[in-house]
Structure formats: structure tokens, C-alpha cells
Amino acid sequence: MAIEAHQHDGATQLPLANWGVGRSHVTGRGAVVYVDDDFGTCKSFSRRFSDEFQVAIVGSATAALSEIDRRDDIAVVISDYQLDGADGLTLLREVRAARPEIITMLASAYTGRDVAIAAVNEAQVFRILEKPLEEGATRKALRQALEETRRRDSLRMFNAPAAALQDTLGLLAHELNTPLAAVRGSISGLRNWFIQPSPGPRGSRPSGRASW
């Protein structure tokens, strides 16, 4: 099947494949963005995995950031480690800072110990994929990433009403507490005023003010 590429904001992309037999029917966020400055590698990724996943390909870190800025359906970003004018780790750190809900993966043929440690500790990548990408391992990683996305989104939706209720109760408590504090202050002032002894000669009877 021929795949036609097109340009968007300086990024080379492939159209999303049509849904078909074997595709995982993901609702909400489900798109996978693959970042590599080699167009042949990008085309190969789309050709191999667009039968099951929504795939968009971009050719630079700048184009990738533009893509995640304009789309809210992105679940996964996979970046090659060596990009033209940048490195994949820097990109994935920026993706995480801008959209922490997006799962990130690093693809590299040169993943040494230092790179792997930085990927986990700094960029907090979900998986490190060794290039050339092995299809079975990559599919498994993508399925796990989308499952994790669904889990996180479900948890976020479950927690959202509770967080909203907590905010509302906090605001209500503040609104109620403000006049109550004013009333308590007034009562305290009145009590202090009533219990003060009236000035007069020593030994004289106190004034007719009632004690509180």
C-alpha cells in the first residue's frame, strides 16, 4: 500500500491509517508521535505500526513540540536519541515539562550506561527501545504505554470530582468562617467592655454594668 507524506508546520507527517481489523480501538488520547530526522526510518515506522496504532511522524524536535502543542490526543512520543541539531533526551524532557501526561520513549542504537541513567532519572522515559526497532518488542511497548495512558486517564477522571468537591468545600468553609470570625470578635469585644470595672474611688461599689 502506498503511503503519501505531507508537510505541516515544517514537519513531515504521514496521514493516520484507517481503522481496520486488528486495530486497538482507543478512545480519547491514543496517538503515537515518532520523531526521527531520517525520513526513511519514519516511513518504515509508520508502515510497520499504523495497522494497530495512530501514527504521526515528525522530523525534528521543534516539529515534535509544535505537534504536541496543537494536539490533545497524543498519548506517546518516541524520539530517536540523535536528532539533527538536538538530542532526544532534551526533547523528551521538554515534552514531559509541557505535557506530563504524555508517555515518552527513547529509541537509540547507541544507548550507553550514562544515556540510560539520564533517560530514566531525568527524562523519566517509559521504555528505551534499541534500534533497529524489533517489531514484536516495539508493539508490546506501545500496547503497554497505551494501557498505562488509559489507566492514568481513568484515575484522573475518578479523582477530578473529588478534587473539585474538596475545592468547593474549602471555599465554603472560608466563606462561612469569615463572618463567624467577625461575630466571635464582636462578642469578645462586648464581653471585655461589660466586665471592665467602672472608674471610681477605691472601695466604692462597681457600676451597674452587668457581668458577662
Q: Name the residue among 62, 59, 65 with its Cα closest to residue 80.
A: 59
pLDDT of residue 116: 86
CA atoms within 13 A on the CB side of 75: 23
pLDDT of residue 109: 87
Phi-psi region of 187 (alpha: psi -120 to 50; beta: other; left: phi over 0): alpha
pLDDT of residue 115: 82
d(CA 55, CA 46): 6
pLDDT of residue 113: 84
Range list of H helices, 34-134: 39-49, 61-70, 88-98, 113-121
Largest CA distance in the chain: 111
Q: In a structure prediction context, what are the per-residue pLDDT tens digits for the chain, which is 212 residues long?
A: 333 343 444 444 443 332 222 233 334 689 999 999 999 999 999 999 999 999 999 999 999 999 999 999 999 999 999 998 888 999 999 999 999 999 999 999 877 888 888 888 888 999 999 999 999 999 999 999 999 999 988 887 766 555 555 666 666 666 666 565 565 666 566 566 556 555 555 555 555 444 44
> Crossing angle of helices 88-98/113-121, nearest 10°?
10
pLDDT of residue 5: 41
pLDDT of residue 7: 43
pLDDT of residue 200: 56
pLDDT of residue 20: 27
